[in-house]
Amino acid sequence: MSRRRGLRRLLVLGLVLALIAGGVYTAVAFIQRSETLIAEKCTAAVGSREADLATDQAANAALITAVAVRRGLPPRAASIALATAMQESKLRNIEHGDQAGPDSRGLFQQRPSQGWGTEEQVMDPYYASGAFFDALVKIPDYESLEITAAAQQVQRSAYPQAYAQHEDMGRAFASALSGQSSGALDCTLKSPEGPGDVQAVLGELTAAFGNVPATTDGTTLVLEANGTQAWAVAQWAVANAKSLSVTNVGVEGRSWDRAARNGWQPSEGQSGLVTVTVAAGTS
């Protein structure tokens, strides 16, 4: 009798363990398919430097760097600007100041009372970035200065050493977004929330870089660009993939696929062209 009870207990235990194992397998499979646990972010990895930004911060970093590229400024200028904006606003276009500058606004916390422009102007990221670079290029030999020193000469901050903590981030993202480092920017994203609009992508890209020869083919934007400009445009598209519903970017024989989440991979593609594909709508 006791042997039967023992066998029954073993069978029950085995059944329970099988159910637990099956439940664990199902749960793991569900989590792998589910996107609820995906932490969206953008990473710039250049040499030994690697830095992460939230997707909205990365989009602003791309905008600032594109303004530098459009003006023909070196990546060093973008590095200084990104470190500055990170310290001043966390790379977000904020509508308020602080005790030291109650009228400070925007990405660089520029103060209308100190001649940076109107409140409306400094809240325009393109204007604010241009104003920062206008001041930066007036500094003799700014490229050879420490980032903190150059940033301080522009900003006149009460905490000049604070910029130093953002130097590695500034250098990594500036190198990637200026196109100096190919395949250096990757964004981990969930699936698009809705369809994309290639004309909207073109409009934003034109605002950032100026006129880039382009054609559209359904959900794909085809741009003519070479070398560092091609990689600047391509990695700008990745940095803006979340807000513009970009699903794939191709450049110089490599492609970034949003769904694959495995960074830049070798692919077929015509040299001199950048392709940006957006999510298609449902029919």
Q: What is the pLDDT along the chain (283 residues), one digit of tens a residue?
A: 555 555 566 554 555 454 554 554 444 344 445 677 889 999 999 999 999 999 999 999 999 999 999 999 999 999 999 999 999 999 999 998 776 678 899 999 999 999 999 999 999 999 999 999 999 999 999 999 999 999 999 988 767 678 999 999 999 999 999 999 999 999 999 999 999 999 999 999 999 999 999 999 899 999 999 999 999 999 999 999 999 999 999 999 999 999 999 999 999 888 899 999 999 986 5
List the domain boundaries for the chain: 44-177, 191-278
Residue 35's pLDDT is 74
Residue 96's pLDDT is 85
Whole-prediction pTM value? Answer: 0.86
In the chain, which ranges are continuous DSSP H helix? 2-33, 55-70, 75-89, 119-122, 125-136, 147-155, 167-177, 198-209, 227-239, 241-244
Residue 28's pLDDT is 39
Residue 37's pLDDT is 84
Burial of 135 from C-beta contacts in 10 A (0-12 / 13-18 / 19+):
middle
Q: Using CA atoms in the order 97, 103, 109, 111, what is the torsion angle rounded to 10 degrees? A: -160
Beta bridge partners of 223: 214, 274
Residue 14's pLDDT is 53
Residue 10's pLDDT is 56
